Structure 1
Amino acid sequence: MNEGKDTDWEYKTNKDGRELIRYSTIKEYTLEIKYSSHSGEYQCSGRMKGSYYTKISNTVSITVLAYRPRATLTAGTTIIPVGGSVTLTCFVQSSDGWKYEWFRRTQTTFEVPIRGQQNRDIRVSQGGIYSCRGTRGNPVYYSDRSDDVTVTITYKPKAKLRADNTAVPVGGSVTLTCSVNPSSSSGWKYYWYRDGNYSEALTTQDAVFHSNGQISVSQEGLYRCRGGRGNPVYYTEYSQEVQINKTCEFVRTF
């Protein structure tokens, strides 16, 4: 109560509108949850001693689950390239207020908790066998553990460059196509380079960019490409080099 002294008041608790604990000077009461019937709407009242002046609290809803909920663990992908990462999501489908504990092990090491991670979403860049569980309350109540999810690290993919022609016709252009293996991966953007200058990618001033990793170029030179995605950008290895030359224009004289 925010009026007078604590000793000026008596307290009682109702459950679902019916008296659960009669008026007394005891302010705190511990309800040991043993049955699902303990679910309900709880409210307390304060009454000033020797009067009928009463104040009523807000209502707190308690839901007692008939079973221990189980955490579900999902992964954006379970195969990531070296230097990449993946988002893992842990979820307990019962009610709000969960924090999460994360665990990792490998085929050759014991399981250890992932420190400093309590969010439902975490981003990992290590391979391994991951699991999670929900936690809340004081004393702590745990959900059942999730199934394991295995994250595997693969070698860094390499870009591949193809040219529909290696000779630029007079006044024309050739199309270069960059692709990333494995072909099942998605979300790549493509970066183009010429004449060994790998610090600055080509822009629309240097080439005409098309969809699906294609550009049209009219300037001769030694071209290379690579794929990139994510933020910060994760790059593939560079493709092989392709030399583009201009054809000569012959003038016939009579």
Structure 2
Amino acid sequence: MEIPKPKVTIKPDQHVFRGETVTLRCDIDGEGVTSWQYSWYKNGSANAFSELQEHTFSPVTESDAGKYSCYGAEREGSCISNISDAVTLIVSDTAAAVLSVSPQKWLTEGDPVTLICEVYGSSTGWTFNWYTVTLSSGRNSSDQYALLSDSSRGAGGNYIVSSAALKHTGVYVCTAERGQPAYKTAFSSKQQLWVTGVSPPVSLIISPNRTQHFNLVSVSLSCEDQSNSDRWRVRSYTDHWGLEDCSSSVWGSQTGSTCKISSTVPSNTGVYWCQSESGENYHPVNITVHIGVILESPVHPVTEGDTLTLHCLYPYTSPPNLRADFYKDGSLIQNQTTEMIISNVSKSHEGFYYCKHSERGESPKSWISVRVSHSESQISVLHTLSSVLAVCPYLLVTVVLIFKCCRMRVHWPLTFRYFRRNG
């Protein structure tokens, strides 16, 4: 018979990470042979290191990396196999889960968004979990992680939100795991989702009224609702300080629903929002503290049809307005002006804006969102309803006429016979 050739498989993958359980398996398709004795070889060595069909590394280490092949001989028989092709096992130090957001992390209620969790360098056999970052009370508190109740396991690395709601505002991480016993990655780096409500019950009022601020100035952030209550607290997430309450931070103090930063520093750069007593998050605003040129742009979304005005400011000139170039999404839209004005704003004007001065430098980027006017949407609905109502009488008359015609067709032959019979 033809001499069989073994096939080597590696589970969970040829690229694994230190600490995983890895199994090498040798399969031989030999006709008429019921029992094989196996021999395993590493890196072309003539000395076999195992005689089992499956050889397991538990846990695997970097020293186990290499090229593996196997060979078989029939137990109590004369049949032998060829040696298999070598299969390479790669062992890396540690697996890292990486989280990204598509299409963007700044959203309006109803927008779709996807959190994508990946393990760089490996894509086989992983299941994923997503968590929100929470905060325990106290000045020296550390991040806590809450597993999402609808986490996806074994369905790929995508966590899909088809329609973003205010509750989705927050900071997210993910982990990946595979194998038995399970090998788990550490938490991924943090990603943020910020959902702006169409009509939130509270507004975050910032003074000075802009998203970018100079270094070493005083900034006030107030959560204001219709009842002027003190039930709101200001929270923030910054790369330097992480997730914090203003009242327990080292950089601010809160009185009622107002947070006061007495002297800004670049580490205050981050997202600030209002949180209710029950833990609901509203009105996130991205605040940047920069040493140098800043862009003066509106804090809140601009409504379609309104006018958008931008300035380029520098703290060491009087007045601070600079004649500068203005950019949107990396493209120059207006040059050498002290004030950029966009009349009749539309959704197409949404994007990242910044300004640049030839000598003073470039400002950070600020996202400017555009929301649909409620009055316009209401007018559109009323126009549609009025059109339907205007057409309805004509439709009704048409239906009545058709019905009468149908009845006349049914009765006409009987009427005709009656007149013929009775002269």
Query: Does TM, scored on the shorter chain, surpass 0.5?
Result: yes
User: Which of 50, 67, 70 pairs up with 2:96?
Assistant: 70
Larger fraction in strand: 1
Q: Do the aligned partners of 2:302 and 2:369 also contact (CA within 8 Å) in 1?
A: no
Unaligned runs of 5+ in 2: 1-27, 136-143, 199-300, 307-342, 352-366, 387-423
Are 1:4 and 2:32 counterparts? yes
Secondary structure in 2 aligned to 1:101?
Answer: strand
Inter-CA distance 95–105: structure 2 relative to 1 (3 Å threshold)? closer
Per-residue deviation, 1:5: 4.0
The CA deviation string for residues 7-39 of structure 1, in whole angstroms up to 9 with x for no partner, is: 2x2111111122453685x42322334531210
Aligned match of 2:130: 103
Inter-CA distance 38–20: structure 2 relative to 1 (3 Å threshold)? farther
Aligned match of 2:186: 144
Provide the alpha-carbon RMSD of the alignment. Answer: 3.9
User: Which of 104, 122, 133 pairs up with 2:159?
Assistant: 122
The CA deviation string for residues 51-88 of structure 1, in whole angstroms up to 9 with x for no partner, is: 263233343321112x2122221223222111223222
User: Which of 115, 129, 135 pairs up with 1:88?
Assistant: 115
If asked which structure has higher relative contact order (CA below 8 Å, sep 6+), I would say: 1
> How far apart in 1 are the matches of 2:50 and 2:159?
48
Q: How does 1:89-238 map to 2 (within 5 A)?
A: 89-97=116-124, 99-105=126-132, 107=134, 111-113=146-148, 114-117=150-153, 118-124=155-161, 125=164, 126-156=168-198, 159-161=303-305, 179-180=346-347, 184=367, 196-198=382-384
Aligned match of 1:245: none
Aligned match of 2:231: none
Q: Do the aligned partners of 2:130 and 2:147 also contact (CA within 8 Å) in 1?
A: yes
Unaligned runs of 5+ in 1: 163-175, 201-254
Inter-CA distance 41–147: structure 2 relative to 1 (3 Å threshold)? same
Secondary structure in 2 aligned to 1:54?
Answer: coil
> How far apart in 2 are the matches of 1:155 and 1:56?
65
* Number of residue pairs aligned between Structure 1 and Structure 2: 185
User: TM-score scaled to structure 1, two decimals?
Assistant: 0.57
> How far apart in 2 are the matches of 1:22 and 1:5?
23
Per-residue deviation, 1:127: 2.4
Per-residue deviation, 1:111: 0.3
Are 1:48 and 2:74 counterparts? yes
Per-residue deviation, 1:131: 0.8
Per-residue deviation, 1:188: 9.9
The CA deviation string for residues 226-246 of structure 1, in whole angstroms up to 9 with x for no partner, is: xxxxxxxxxxxxxxxxxxxxx
Q: Do the aligned partners of 1:71 and 1:132 also contact (CA within 8 Å) in 2?
A: yes
Q: Do the aligned partners of 2:303 and 2:371 also contact (CA within 8 Å) in 1?
A: no
Q: Do the aligned partners of 1:42 and 1:62 also contact (CA within 8 Å) in 2?
A: yes
Q: Which moved more, 1:9-18 or 1:31-40?
A: 31-40
Inter-CA distance 27–185: structure 2 relative to 1 (3 Å threshold)? same
> How far apart in 2 are the matches of 1:14 and 1:188?
66
User: TM-score scaled to structure 2, two decimals?
Assistant: 0.36
> How far apart in 2 are the matches of 1:63 and 1:122?
29
> How far apart in 1 are the matches of 2:381 and 2:194?
36
> How far apart in 2 are the matches of 1:187 and 1:152?
15
Q: Percent identity?
A: 22
Equivalent AA in structure 2 for residue 102 of structure 1: N
> How far apart in 2 are the matches of 1:14 and 1:129?
48
